[in-house]
């Protein structure tokens, strides 16, 4: 409530006075956000590394690969700490990969970094990374890893998991001799063009035979002649993990350009490879493979973006698709509820409801109104009358529903509606508990979903650099075709089962030293997040101690220096008011009696109090205390024996009070005395009048607001004297003019307009030109057109805080638009006689002003009129030209 009220003011204070820059932390020092609800870590995109990230995530979610790598200890790989020791062999690539996997498993951050790993490949720039295609990268990564594992027990890691063989055979039709050639593969590359999907591609490659016949015969080594023969290829050895690269990028030889094949290309979640194998006698399970990763390419053939769909076979992540569904349900429910409320608020429904519950069916109209109040807690007249008119009228207007007795005093529902109402009442009951119904439905449904999915283990995630999102298995089908489509497929042998201990256990098989490293890193991360968090939530409060303040002139003023009276306190805004009170008690050490905390604000008149803070269990943020807020600490009653009235209604207003001074009968020489007065904003003008004006005096306000150049003074009319300072619009800095009774002869009180009789009251601006070294200060001097120039000068010298001796050695010179000082104005002239416009600028300069019988002449010496300095002389009107010339020569120092 009052939080809103002061929000603007507090932000003003905090911007201007508490801008210590503590909130402008640099992004780098801030720790990465923790993992999101999936509990899986993404990988940061380090500039064009999305394909590397997709591949690394695939390897990471190949637990057999991950664990094989983890099984290699420091005794084989060395240790990253020894990286700079020349005599120690450190196998950096596998070590960095181990660490990355440990981070992906255990480090509580949204995304891991691959910088260390890519550096271990010797890739230091984005350029080096962009040269590679993801299929190529797969081979480069494997080969780099293999090379660095030579001589360790992990030397065959890649082969063990990914190596397969294909056998190519040519059978001679005549001697039946079989010529054989075996090929190794780490991944299979399959055609996409003109093929409907993976199975057809494999069929073309490993089932279809090619014949050598007619013109195209085969030379048989055994027969030693050209013969007819059949060529075929078969999968001989199947690896545990089968990687399939789709040839989506083709070359169009006619157009001579690369293009991306976006046609539909299906691939199964489970595939039986038996038809494509050389050896077909084994059990079915030997040939069954399951899809577990799909790297997706989005974009054209020259660039684009990669992300990957991965099946979380160890159930490490939190697969929470149902959350989305439940959200949808809740939204639906809320919508229904709002509809219900709307329906509830419709008087037709309400009255029908009341009447349908009536056993007697017919009730007096007055009683219907009474029942509305009893049952729904609302009165017709208050809630509906404005919109729908009197209740009786309303009932008459809905005669299709309500039947009024002939004398219009009793009402009943028409028969048809009575029944219908009961009908919809039943419906209404169903509607009244939609939450229960939905909940039950939802729970059983989502339970089914969870069971079904966990049974098949199909927890798929979309890993897109830093972002990880759960997806449905069915979403994979979206990647069959189009600009965004599957690019690499990863299958795992169905026989490979995961141990139950590995389920939902990211620590499984992670070596001890990496567990320790990650645990320590997590503690550090949490600590840094907490530090950042509290820095984000810290607010600086300024505590003003009541005992160091005095109340006078309508506001609070520090009795000691500001430094001694005000204490700074930094506190977490999530803490409670009770905590703040406790902190203040500790800070002050000695405090007796009640401690009242009030919000305060510095106003031009001084410090003013607003709301007493209460509700010790509320948080500081909750009660609206923001950074830079002022809090007054006192006993809640008095300050230095003076009663202090807090609140908006008692805000002190600092008024500028003008009085006419130096008035003389000739109407010449008017000038003003200004003083400042503090009045409560709730004070009536009559109080102000009593305090400031003499009996018979009057108060004038000007309605021109802050634009002082256009003054329009009006006498405050009698009827406004009961209004408060705030209501008539007087605020800090507003001016009022107080005229005593003798001044009023100038004012036509009847018209209420001062300008009618008196001359314009306005301001002239005077700029200091006397002290050239000092900053050219400028002041505003109140004047009328009858004010004499010497009075303006004296006032200006006072306001500019210049020495009094200057009065005799200075003059006022108007300054034109170009900033040029014009001839000085005679001292005895009035503003009007000097032909000065109100608001115009005068320069206060050294030198005497000419009298009204003197002339002021400018002259320039030399032939070049542009560059020569302008000089000035003052001569009597009666002086001859020769006299003037002599003066000029004297002034310029030239010989006669």
Residue 88 or 175: the one with the smaller Cβ distance to Zn ion is 175
Region from 107-115, 215-223, 542-550, 666-674 binding Zn ion, contact rule CB under 5 A: 215-223
**Torsional sign, CA 104, 108, 114, 116:** negative
721-740 residues in contact with Zn ion (CB under 5 A) are none
Using alpha carbons, list the distances in angstroms from residue 10 to 6, 7, 451, 525, 563: 6, 5, 54, 33, 20
220 binds Zn ion (CB under 5 A): yes
Q: What's 785's DSSP letter? A: T
Instruction: At 828, give phi and psi (nearest 5°).
Output: -90, 0
Half-sphere CA count of 302, side-chain side, radius 13 A: 2
Residue 6 or 212: the one with the smaller Cβ distance to Zn ion is 212
452-481 residues in contact with Zn ion (CB under 5 A) are none
Residue bearing tokens 């057809």: 200
Element (H, E) at 528: helix 512-537
Instruction: State yes or no: is 305 an active-site residue.
Output: yes
Q: 110 is written with which tokens? A: 């949204």
626 binds Zn ion (CB under 5 A): no
Region from 22-30, 222-230, 813-821, 848-856 binding Zn ion, contact rule CB under 5 A: 222-230
Interface pick for Zn ion out of 223, 321, 521, 595 (rule CB under 5 A): 223
Residue 56 or 220: the one with the smaller Cβ distance to Zn ion is 220
What is the closest distance, in whole angstroms, from the C-beta atom of residue 176 to Zn ion in the complex? 7
- Contacts within 8 Å (CB) and 24+ apart, 514-518: 514/70, 514/98, 514/99, 514/102, 515/102, 515/106, 517/99, 517/102, 518/102, 518/103, 518/105, 518/106, 518/107
* The one catalytic residue among 132, 155, 163, 305: 305
What is the closest distance, in whole angstroms, from the C-beta atom of residue 505 to Zn ion in the complex? 59
Residue 221 or 667: the one with the smaller Cβ distance to Zn ion is 221
Residue 217 or 860: the one with the smaller Cβ distance to Zn ion is 217
What is the closest distance, in whole angstroms, from the C-beta atom of residue 165 to Zn ion in the complex? 25
The site map against Zn ion for 175-214 (x = CB under 5 A) is x-x-------------------------------------
State how far the Cα of 747 lies from the Cα of 739, in Å rounded to an integer: 9
Residue 222 or 328: the one with the smaller Cβ distance to Zn ion is 222
Using alpha carbons, list the distances in angstroms from residue 412 to 135, 349, 356, 375, 376: 81, 14, 9, 18, 19
Residue 221 or 389: the one with the smaller Cβ distance to Zn ion is 221
What DSSP string describes 712-751?
A: -EEEPPGGGGGSBTTTTT--TT-EEEEE-GGGGGGSBTTT
What is the closest distance, in whole angstroms, from the C-beta atom of residue 211 to Zn ion in the complex? 15
What is the closest distance, in whole angstroms, from the C-beta atom of residue 228 to Zn ion in the complex? 10
State how far the Cα of 521 lies from the Cα of 75, in Å rounded to an integer: 23
Q: Which of these, 264, 265, 273, 266, lies nearest to 242 by C-alpha position?
A: 273
State how far the Cα of 264 lies from the Cα of 862, in Å rounded to an integer: 94
Using alpha carbons, list the distances in angstroms from residue 733 to 12, 19, 145, 676: 19, 27, 78, 9
What is the closest distance, in whole angstroms, from the C-beta atom of residue 214 to Zn ion in the complex? 17
What is the closest distance, in whole angstroms, from the C-beta atom of residue 279 to Zn ion in the complex? 24
CB of 64 within 8 A of CB of 496?
yes
What is the closest distance, in whole angstroms, from the C-beta atom of residue 225 to Zn ion in the complex? 8
* The one catalytic residue among 50, 172, 681, 811: 50
Region from 108-116, 166-174, 664-672, 775-783 binding Zn ion, contact rule CB under 5 A: 166-174
Region from 37-45, 172-180, 305-313, 435-443 binding Zn ion, contact rule CB under 5 A: 172-180
State how far the Cα of 52 lies from the Cα of 119, in Å rounded to an integer: 13
What is the closest distance, in whole angstroms, from the C-beta atom of residue 180 to Zn ion in the complex? 14
Region from 45-53, 216-224, 246-254, 747-755 binding Zn ion, contact rule CB under 5 A: 216-224
Residue 176 or 882: the one with the smaller Cβ distance to Zn ion is 176
Region from 167-175, 332-340, 522-530, 732-740 binding Zn ion, contact rule CB under 5 A: 167-175
Interface pick for Zn ion out of 104, 172, 699, 701 (rule CB under 5 A): 172
Strand partners, 656: 676, 735
State how far the Cα of 509 lies from the Cα of 503, in Å rounded to an integer: 12
- The Cβ of residue 42 has, within 10 Å, a number of other Cβ atoms equal to 24
Using alpha carbons, list the distances in angstroms from residue 790 to 433, 532, 662, 669, 823: 88, 64, 13, 9, 15
768-787 residues in contact with Zn ion (CB under 5 A) are none
What is the closest distance, in whole angstroms, from the C-beta atom of residue 166 to Zn ion in the complex? 23
CB of 188 within 8 A of CB of 204?
no
First to last CA, the chain: 85
Region from 61-69, 174-182, 524-532, 663-671 binding Zn ion, contact rule CB under 5 A: 174-182
What is the closest distance, in whole angstroms, from the C-beta atom of residue 71 to Zn ion in the complex? 50
Instruction: State yes or no: is 18 an active-site residue.
Output: no
Enumerate residues 6+ apart whose C-beta is below 8 A from 471: 309, 321, 460, 461, 462
Residue bearing tokens 């020894």: 82
262 binds Zn ion (CB under 5 A): no
Q: How many residues bind Zn ion (CB under 5 A)?
A: 7
Region from 223-231, 258-266, 278-286, 630-638 binding Zn ion, contact rule CB under 5 A: 223-231
Based on its alpha-carbon atoms, the radius of gyration of the chain, rounded to whole angstroms, reads 47
Residue 170 or 725: the one with the smaller Cβ distance to Zn ion is 170
What is the closest distance, in whole angstroms, from the C-beta atom of residue 230 to Zn ion in the complex? 12
Residue 230 or 845: the one with the smaller Cβ distance to Zn ion is 230
Pairing of strands 630-634, 596-603: antiparallel
Residue 172 or 831: the one with the smaller Cβ distance to Zn ion is 172
Length of the chain: 896
Interface pick for Zn ion out of 33, 83, 178, 222 (rule CB under 5 A): 222
Residue 229 or 849: the one with the smaller Cβ distance to Zn ion is 229
Positions in the binding site for Zn ion (CB under 5 A):
172, 174-175, 177, 220, 222-223
Active site residues: 50, 305
């Amino acid at each position: 409530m009052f939080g809103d009220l002061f929000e603007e003011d507090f932000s003003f204070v905090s911007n201007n006075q508490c801008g210590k820059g503590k909130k402008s932390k640099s992004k780098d020092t801030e720790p990465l956000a923790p993992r999101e609800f999936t509990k899986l870590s993404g990988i940061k995109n380090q500039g064009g590394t999305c394909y590397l990230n997709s591949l690394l995530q695939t390897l990471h979610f190949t637990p057999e690969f991950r664990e094989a790598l983890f099984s290699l200890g420091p005794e084989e790989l060395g240790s990253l700490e020894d990286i700079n020791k020349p005599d120690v062999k450190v196998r950096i690539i596998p070590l960095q990969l181990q660490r990355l996997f440990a981070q992906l498993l255990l480090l509580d951050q949204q995304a891991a970094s691959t910088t260390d790993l890519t550096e271990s490949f010797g890739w230091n720039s984005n350029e080096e990374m962009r040269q590679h295609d993801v299929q190529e990268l797969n081979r480069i990564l494997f080969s780099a890893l293999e090379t660095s594992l030579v001589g360790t027990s992990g030397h065959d890691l890649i082969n063990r998991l990914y190596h397969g063989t294909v056998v190519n055979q040519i059978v001679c039709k005549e001697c039946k001799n079989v010529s054989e050639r075996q090929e190794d593969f780490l991944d299979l590359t399959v055609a996409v063009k003109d093929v409907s999907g993976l199975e057809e591609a494999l069929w073309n490659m490993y089932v279809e035979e090619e014949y050598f016949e007619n013109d195209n015969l085969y030379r048989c080594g055994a027969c030693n002649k050209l013969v007819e023969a059949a060529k075929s290829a078969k999968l001989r050895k199947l690896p545990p993990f089968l990687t399939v690269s789709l040839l989506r990028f083709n070359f169009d030889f006619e157009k001579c350009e690369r293009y991306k094949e976006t046609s539909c290309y299906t691939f199964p979640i489970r595939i039986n490879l038996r038809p494509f194998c050389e050896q077909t006698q084994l059990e079915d399970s030997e040939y069954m493979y399951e899809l577990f990763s799909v790297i997706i390419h989005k974009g054209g053939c020259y660039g684009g973006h990669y992300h990957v769909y991965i099946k979380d076979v160890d159930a490490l992540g939190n697969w929470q698709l149902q959350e989305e569904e439940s959200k949808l349900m809740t939204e639906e429910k809320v919508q229904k509820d709002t509809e219900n409320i709307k329906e509830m608020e419709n008087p037709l429904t309400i009255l029908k409801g009341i009447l349908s519950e009536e056993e007697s069916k017919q009730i007096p109209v007055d009683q219907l109104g009474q029942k509305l109040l009893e049952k729904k807690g609302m009165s017709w007249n208050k809630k509906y009358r404005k919109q729908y008119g009197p209740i009786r009228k309303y009932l008459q207007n809905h005669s299709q529903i309500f039947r009024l007795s002939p004398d219009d005093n009793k009402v009943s529902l028409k028969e048809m509606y009575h029944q219908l109402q009961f009908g919809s009442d039943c419906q209404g009951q169903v509607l009244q508990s939609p939450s229960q119904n939905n909940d039950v439905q939802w729970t059983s449904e989502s339970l089914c979903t969870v069971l079904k999915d966990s049974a098949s283990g199909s927890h798929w995630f979309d890993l897109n650099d830093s972002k990880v999102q759960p997806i449905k298995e069915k979403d994979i089908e979206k990647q069959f075709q189009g600009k965004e489509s599957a690019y690499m497929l990863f299958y795992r042998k169905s026989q490979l089962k995961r141990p139950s201990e590995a389920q939902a256990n990211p620590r499984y098989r992670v070596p001890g030293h990496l567990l320790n490293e990650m645990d320590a890193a997590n503690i550090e991360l949490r600590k840094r997040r907490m530090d950042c968090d509290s820095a984000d939530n810290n607010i600086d409060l300024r505590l003003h101690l009541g005992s160091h303040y005095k109340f006078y002139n309508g506001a609070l003023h520090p009795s000691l220096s500001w430094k001694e009276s005000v204490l700074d306190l930094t506190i977490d805004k999530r803490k409670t008011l009770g905590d703040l009170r406790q902190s203040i008690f500790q800070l002050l050490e000695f405090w007796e009696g009640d401690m009242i905390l009030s919000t305060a604000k510095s106003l031009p008149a001084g410090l003013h109090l607003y709301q007493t803070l209460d509700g010790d269990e509320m948080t500081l943020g909750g009660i609206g205390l923001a950074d830079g807020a002022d809090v007054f600490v006192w006993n809640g009653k008095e300050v230095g024996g003076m009663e202090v009235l807090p609140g908006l209604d008692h805000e002190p207003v600092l008024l500028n009070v003008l009085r006419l001074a130096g008035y003389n009968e000739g109407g010449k020489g008017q000038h003003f005395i200004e003083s400042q007065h503090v009045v409560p904003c709730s004070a009536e003008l009559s109080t102000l009048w009593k305090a400031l004006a003499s009996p018979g005096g009057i108060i004038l306000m000007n309605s021109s607001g802050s634009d002082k150049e256009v003054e329009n003074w009006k006498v405050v009319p009698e009827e406004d004297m009961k209004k408060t300072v705030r209501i008539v619009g007087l605020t800090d800095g507003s001016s009022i003019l107080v005229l005593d009774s003798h001044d009023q002869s100038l004012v036509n009180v009847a018209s209420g307009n001062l300008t009618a009789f008196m001359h314009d009251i306005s301001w002239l601006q005077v700029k200091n030109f006397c002290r050239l070294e000092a900053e050219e200060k400028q002041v505003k001097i109140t004047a009328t057109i009858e004010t004499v120039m010497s009075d303006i000068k004296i006032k200006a010298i006072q306001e500019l805080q210049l020495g009094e001796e200057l009065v005799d050695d200075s003059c006022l010179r108007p300054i034109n638009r170009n900033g040029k000082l014009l001839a000085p104005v005679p001292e005895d002239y009035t503003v009007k006689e000097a032909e000065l416009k109100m608001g115009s600028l005068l320069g206060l300069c050294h030198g005497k002003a000419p009298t009204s019988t003197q002339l002021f002449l400018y002259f320039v010496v030399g032939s070049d009129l542009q560059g020569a300095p302008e000089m000035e002389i003052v001569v009597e009107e009666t002086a001859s030209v020769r006299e003037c010339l002599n003066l000029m020569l004297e002034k310029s120092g030239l010989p006669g």
